[in-house]
A and B are shown apart, each in its own frame.
Chain A
């Protein structure tokens, strides 16, 4: 559920180049007339501006999606396209309110012991090819998600308390889910789970070929979903064209069936600067994930588009040190440094010496928030307001270092340098991802901050994958600046970051036993918040986790960037959020104000 925020563009150029060589086109002519709203259908009515039918919305996508199969989709572009526009889930997390709301299930209730979820499906639901949906499709969906041979990327999500969730059909509209153990995040479990059409996928599933179905080359009539748009055409290396799903199950306040748009086009534009140029020239209608620099370029030459700062998102950037237990193969030099890094007061001193406000100002041009914990201001419900936001203080840093035996020597050129208790100078290197300019900039600022403390820092930009390999596998590094983004604001989404056994427990990943007492306590608290049923109880546990993190500083939290987006002035219902997908979360309600069927002159 958590993803490292990497911006690697190298490989993608290559992929696009190769695919351009052979362009494959699949298309489908429009199906007959769309059905009228009938009384047997229970459509979900959305509040908001009433829009106009028609138009074609063009957005750019960072990379070509690898698949259209929700089961195997692991890359961000695939998930953005599939879950954002092509598929629907039973219960949905509203990206604006960050709360759950009915989706394909019109209502649900939870048994008093918290183990049984009864979901009632909407009546009259149809897949985008016109076939009706019933409880058997939901049962089939869970069967394939949980089947180990399918290798569904979200399989772990449906294993609660070590056992897979069991599903039972009551009648054609009612399904009961049985959990082995209580689950704190509750019905958020169902978000992002695409309900699959049994009539199309049962045969490949029985043949054991489900993993290979629904690639990008799939003909449009062999594909069906419950999202606002359905597959129309895929041009390799260029674009993915989706068309309006005439059977979509939402309507506006006036009873018009959504979505408003006729077509949604994803252009594959692998480079952030190229995306800006396309948006500037009017080729695309929306833009998201803008860097602060590009945002100010676009704001300055504003003409015909609205630029919007949605506030800090969920991405948090941090500095962390290698505190893995030195092994025999660890070089003596690194082992000596790990000894400093394992000292809590050393980490606290580094934290006190970092100027977070300067990071926000110089890296994000003020469009971001300084952080003292992993919960960003963009997360409305889970932040611990008790965590103190201590300002930069070199005096405090010096006092902390002095307490644990560090001292200063004055060199021949009058410069002070920090030395440890063996009189060895304190210097270390910070790894950053070479494709992420923001984090390299942060490291450059930290380098200067720590120079004033007499600590020499080197910055080592490294290709993202070899960086992750060093941090989680070989563990041959000294310090590293990274960022994490989760898809959901709920702490359950970040279990593998905070649990000491987690693979994303970056400072010391995949431990068999918690290495420190406070890591053991975090493990216990995270399990507690998972079991607790009330928000207040869960919040209390997670608040304590945040306190422990702030005290022990395994990650020195730095800053969170604002979600910066833009849209053409003619796009209606444009309400960006800080959760992914930032601008397309309400794609069914987006419309063009002034057009006669096409979004461009």
Chain B
């Protein structure tokens, strides 16, 4: 068996989780926007192996649910009608990873829809919506973090390498950005942008907005590393041999910042996923009917949903493994970088 070192194990966990979300079309039984108007607010279905007569079945099955007469959201299991769960069924068309048209879903059922995590106000499958919503939220988080890091590294490296008044100016601007109440800044930025936008436009607007506010912290960290790396002996030596600025940065200085950048990335991605969720929760994210984790939770703003339909909280649970994965990775990376540094300082006698 392959032994994975600390951070690699976390990375693997994250890759697996993202893989599931990226292939949402396969794992989700239905199209996330498809409404089933006969089953609004259906609680998660129970999957049985033993029927009412006590017989054991190898194939899991569930009972069809129907509305209790005269009620809007009270359902009862129809025990006469057992519907077997089927695997690798053909259903709604989707594009795997956005490229390959596919029709095969991991599971599904004939004769009735199966709701493992219940349905929402329009009878849309909650499980499918959580999986597809993850695509939006995670991609927004990752692209937002990527954008932030790009800006952060550019500004941080410039400030650290050039030094002098340019360093001072850039860092004061960064401090200004850090002092801003960024949630309110998000609101203000979003309010300036047009309201009537298509889901795709809205998505990129969000990424732009959250990417533009978070660059200050990584910029300061990168600047610090660049500042110390610039004075290292091997950098001085390279400069003495006539290396150009761009060669020095590329070859000697920026590689020094890699551990800081990776750790920052692992911290920033969940932070920006949360930022996207906040915006969508408040109705400023991607519009209906496209799901995102934030807009899935938005229905909880209503008192009646809060007290009546517990499965509407599930999108909040979905983010927990992702955040654990990212934060675990961040701390493992930091430890790794820490030990590396100790090894290097102990081995290489600098003084």
Contact = CB atoms under 8 A, between A and B. Distances in A.
A139 interface: no
Contacts of A294: 303-304
A237 to B, nearest CB: 22
B303 A445 contact: no
Contact of A297 (B37, B195, B303): B303
A49 interface: no
Given A413-B101, A447-B289, A462-B195, A362 B304 contact: no
Contacts of B121: 362, 441
Most chain A CB within a 10 A radius of its CB, from B195, B283, B308? B195
Contact of B122 (A437, A445, A461): A445
Interface in A489-529: none
Interface in A282-313: 291-294, 296-297, 300
Nearest to B37: A358
A296 B70 CA distance: 12
A273 B198 CA distance: 31
Interface in B34-54: 35, 37, 40
A273 B196 CA distance: 29
Given A413-B101, A429-B196, A447-B288, A434 B72 contact: no
A566 to B, nearest CB: 14
Contacts of A46: none
Most chain A CB within a 10 A radius of its CB, from B195, B288, B304, B307? B304
Interface residues on B, range: 20 to 34
Interface string A432-457: 00100100110011011000000000
B304 A458 contact: no
B93 A293 contact: no
A437 B287 contact: no
Contacts of A365: 72-73
A355 B37 contact: yes
B304 A434 contact: no
9 contacts: A293-B302, A293-B305, A362-B121, A362-B122, A366-B72, A413-B93, A413-B101, A447-B289, A460-B196
B300 to A, nearest CB: 11
Q: What 3 A-B pairs have minimum CB-CB distances, sorted nearest first?
A: A293-B304, A273-B303, A365-B72
A462 B196 CA distance: 9
A461 B288 CA distance: 10
B33 interface: yes
A441 B283 CA distance: 14
A361 B307 CA distance: 20
Interface string B202-218: 00000000000000000
A361 B122 contact: no
Interface in A88-113: none
A296 B72 contact: yes
Contacts of B305: 293
A71 interface: no
A361 B283 contact: no
Given A362-B40, A429-B196, A459 B303 contact: no
Classify the interface of chain A: helix, strand, loop or mixed: helix
Interface in A404-443: 413-414, 429, 434, 437, 440-441
Given A297-B308, A448-B35, 4 more contacts: A273-B302, A273-B303, A297-B304, A362-B122
Contacts of B122: 362, 441, 444-445, 448
Contact of B198 (A362, A414, A458, A462): A458
B331 to A, nearest CB: 40
B93 A414 contact: yes
A18 interface: no
A277 interface: yes
A444 B302 contact: no
A289 to B, nearest CB: 14
Interface string B264-305: 000000000000000000010001110000000000001111
A441 to B, nearest CB: 7
Interface in A356-376: 358, 361-362, 365-366
A276 interface: yes
A25 B307 CA distance: 37
B204 to A, nearest CB: 16
Nearest to A357: B37
A445 B289 CA distance: 10
B306 to A, nearest CB: 8
Given A362-B121, A365-B72, A448-B122, A461 B283 contact: yes
Contacts of A292: 72
Contact of A459 (B93, B288, B308): B288
Nearest to A359: B37
Contacts of A276: 303
B35 A458 contact: no
Nearest to A437: B302
Contacts of A300: 308
Nearest to A296: B72
Contacts of A437: 302
Interface string B96-112: 00000100000000000
